[in-house]
């Protein structure tokens, strides 16, 4: 009944995304979200993925083995805080129906590339301005690593400050698990 956090994020996004949509993976990491988004948006859709590490772009690209999916994905080696500029250039006039964030660092990779509160907040603000009506923003936060708790706290302060007439904001967390990640979902009204 209670899906693990990442599966729950996918389940919510898959309910919202439709064929032909634009979707954003704000933190490519190992590319799992991008592969799912690319399947979901179908042949007329578009996925734009962001990461700072070439390693992440490469592993995301390598996951796009399902027929046609690689053709509908643009991967950019740019911080997600530059989302608005990249969208204006790569998908002018289009608004994303889903924006997914999976914060922290790439497991087994360089922890210096962990996401950081200030750029994460800038990207979230951009995503909230860009998101299509009926769309969804998901954010998975990891409080267990250095800087992770502060980043989660900042994200939750930002999310709580969104006026209830503008969006529904939901927090999903296994409360009695130690330093468990949490999943935030924002759906504009």
Q: Which residues bind ligand SAH (CB under 6 A)?
A: 27-29, 50-53, 56, 79-81, 102, 104-107, 113, 115, 119, 142
- 45/104 with CB nearer ligand SAH: 104
Least Å distance, CB 33 to ligand SAH, is 10
Least Å distance, CB 32 to ligand SAH, is 8
- 80/97 with CB nearer ligand SAH: 80
- 90/166 with CB nearer ligand SAH: 90
Q: How far apart are CA 142 and CA 150, in angstroms?
A: 10
The DSSP call for residue 70 is G
- 118/134 with CB nearer ligand SAH: 118
Contact 162, 169 (CB under 8 A): yes
Q: How far apart are CA 139 and CA 157, in angstroms?
A: 13
Kindly give the residue spans of alpha helices, DSSP state H, lying in the chain.
Answer: 5-16, 32-41, 54-62, 83-90, 117-130, 148-160
Least Å distance, CB 29 to ligand SAH, is 3
**Token pair for 189:** 């009204």
**Token pair for 107:** 């497991």
* Strand-pair category, 46-50 with 22-25: parallel
Least Å distance, CB 52 to ligand SAH, is 5
């Amino acid at each position: 009944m209670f899906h693990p956090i990442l599966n729950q994020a996918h389940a919510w996004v898959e309910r919202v995304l439709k064929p032909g949509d634009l979707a954003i993976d704000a933190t490519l990491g190992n590319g799992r979200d991008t592969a799912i988004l690319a399947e979901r948006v179908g042949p007329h859709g578009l996925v734009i993925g962001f990461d700072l590490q070439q390693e992440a772009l490469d592993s995301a690209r390598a996951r796009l083995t399902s027929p046609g999916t690689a053709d509908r994905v643009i991967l950019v080696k740019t911080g997600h805080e530059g989302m608005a500029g990249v969208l204006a250039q790569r998908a002018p006039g289009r608004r994303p129906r889903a924006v997914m964030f999976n914060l922290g660092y790439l497991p087994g990779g360089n922890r210096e590339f962990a996401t950081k509160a200030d750029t994460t907040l800038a990207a979230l603000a951009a995503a909230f301005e860009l998101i299509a009506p009926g769309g969804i923003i998901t954010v998975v936060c990891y409080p267990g690593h250095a800087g992770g708790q502060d980043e989660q706290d900042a994200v939750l302060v930002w999310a709580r400050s969104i006026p209830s007439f503008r969006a529904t904001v939901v927090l999903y967390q296994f409360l009695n698990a130690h330093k468990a990640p949490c999943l935030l979902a924002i759906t504009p009204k």
